[in-house]
Amino acid sequence: MTKTRVSPELHRYAVCAPDGNPIKDYYKGVFEEVFLFYHPFIKPKTIDYKLFEPNTYPSRNDIIKNCEIVTWKQFLEISSIKNYRQLDIGLRTLISGLNTKFANEDIAKVIQDVCVNKEIVAPSEGCFPELLITGLLESIKKEGYEWIWYGDEFCTERKLEYIEDLVEDYNSFQNHPINLFTHDNKILLTTHWDSHFSMLCSDKNTVNKIVDSCNLEGFYCSEHTEIYWSILK
């Protein structure tokens, strides 16, 4: 008889919290604080907006050099969308990432129309935002780290990277959900595969410093915050 193979428990310091339970519950005893930060919209400045199609989508380095951030707050101001919860629901609806009873096609259409009329690119889900990652890596470096682990979604494969190399050439990142964590397991950057946000996990002081340094837009997770926070009351 073939023995059933059971994979070992995931290293919580190296992966994204699963949906269905409070995020801070998952990281309890590992990380004191979790800041959920939104992936910003992209405004092309010295590159053609029409290039942002599957076959011609600019490289990460080109986006960093030729585009600027449009925050969720700014997007709310130029649209009729009322709040961050609605915006998150609309973005998830655009990628068919919600059950139909939670989706909102009207908000999704508003997002599409504003993006086309203002030549703004909606944020991507499941990968670190190009316009924030360099600053995040530099902030981690300022905390005294020169190396960082780069892992796939469940961190079954991981590689040790020199932070400065990633700062200089962000194109070296693969295009799939990833986790970045320090060798001493004190800092984790992680992104959920079907969400338009990432999370910074560490002790309270370190999280506060990096959030302020990078001017991250988002919120500190409460004891009840879950991955699908926007559809929960």
The whole-number pLDDT of residue 175 equals 57
Q: pTM higher than 0.85 for the full model? A: yes
Domain chopping of the chain, boundaries:
12-38+126-224, 41-118
Helix, strand or coil, per DSSP, at residue 192? coil
Q: What is the pLDDT of residues 152-162, one digit of tens each?
A: 888 899 999 99
List phi, psi (to 5°) of 174.
-80, 160
For residue range 170-208, list pLDDT tens digits in order. 666 665 668 999 999 999 999 998 999 999 999 999 999
Residue type, 128: F
Kindly report the backbone phi and psi dihedral angles of residue 13, in degrees, each rounded to the nearest multiple of 5, phi listed first.
-75, 0
Rounded alpha-carbon distances, angstroms, from residue 110 to 96, 104, 113, 116? 16, 10, 5, 10
Share of the chain above pLDDT 70, in %: 96
The conformation of residue 27, written as its DSSP 8-state character, comes to T
Sign of the CA dihedral running 48, 53, 55, 60: positive
Mean pLDDT, all residues of the chain: 94
pLDDT tens per residue across span 115-140: 999 999 999 999 999 999 999 999 99
